[in-house]
Structure 1
Amino acid sequence: MELNHIGITNKNELQAIQFYQDFLGLEKTREMLLAPELSGQLFSLFQEIKVLVFEKPGLKVEVFISDFQHANPNFIHFGLMLDNFTEITEKAQRSHVEIIVGKHKEKTVYFLKDFSGNLIEIKQKS
């Protein structure tokens, strides 16, 4: 079994493109409209939803453009193994991308937050 794709919500199309294409360097490969009927069947949200698909070899992210808010804390995230961790964290600081650092005992965990508040865990490849 392998990961096929990640599906997340983003509040704004331009911000999704700025983060996933311009910042992370993924290619926008597709754009589609999810019909209200299908959206209702799958997500109980009976409205047309725009979906942007961003890809790189081994990674596919489907971004649902909607200002729908979750009532509960959002634990949804995906993780990226980075070839150059330092390069991405420095780029995040220059690009005003929020970096979240969590520490517990000997473990440190790093997350980026995209412009709609989605969490992306980042780790250095060994």
Structure 2
Amino acid sequence: MELNHIGITNKSEEQALQFYRDFLGLEKTREILLAPELSEQLFSLSREVKVLVFEKTGIKIEVFISDFHHTNPNFTHFGIMLDNFSEVTEKARRFNVNIIMGRHKDKTVYFLKDFSGNLIEIKQKS
């Protein structure tokens, strides 16, 4: 078994492009309009939904553009391995991307928060 893709929701197409394409460097490979009938059958939402697909070797993210409200606490996230951790954290400062750091004993965990509040765990490749 292997992971095929991750699906998340974003409030705005512009913010999704800014974060996933411009900040993370993923390529927008497709744009899909999910028909209201299919949206109703799959997600109980009877309206058309735009989906942007972003990819890079080994990762595929489907971003559903929709107004929504996260419930708190929101544990939903995905994790990515970075070639250059310090480069991404510095870039996050330039893009005003929120970096969240948690520490417990000798373990430190880092998350980015995209412009719609989705969490992305980041780790340095060994």
Question: Same fold, TM exceeding 0.5?
Answer: yes
What does residue range 1-126 of structure 1 map to in structure 2 within 5 Å? 1-126=1-126
Q: What is the CA-CA distance between 1:71 and the residue it aligns to?
A: 3.7
Greater shift, 112-121 or 72-81, is seen at 72-81
| Distance (whole Å) between structure 1 residues aligned to residue 102 and residue 21 of structure 2 | 26
Q: What is the CA-CA distance between 1:40 and the residue it aligns to?
A: 1.1
Greater shift, 110-119 or 71-80, is seen at 71-80
What is the aligned length?
A: 126
Specify the code of the residue in structure 1 equivalent to 2:62.
E
| Distance (whole Å) between structure 2 residues aligned to residue 17 and residue 48 of structure 1 | 19
| Distance (whole Å) between structure 1 residues aligned to residue 47 and residue 14 of structure 2 | 20
| Distance (whole Å) between structure 2 residues aligned to residue 21 and residue 59 of structure 1 | 13
Structure 1 spans left out of the alignment, 5+ residues:
none
Specify the code of the residue in structure 1 equivalent to 2:37.
E
Structure 2 spans left out of the alignment, 5+ residues:
none
| Distance (whole Å) between structure 1 residues aligned to residue 97 and residue 68 of structure 2 | 22
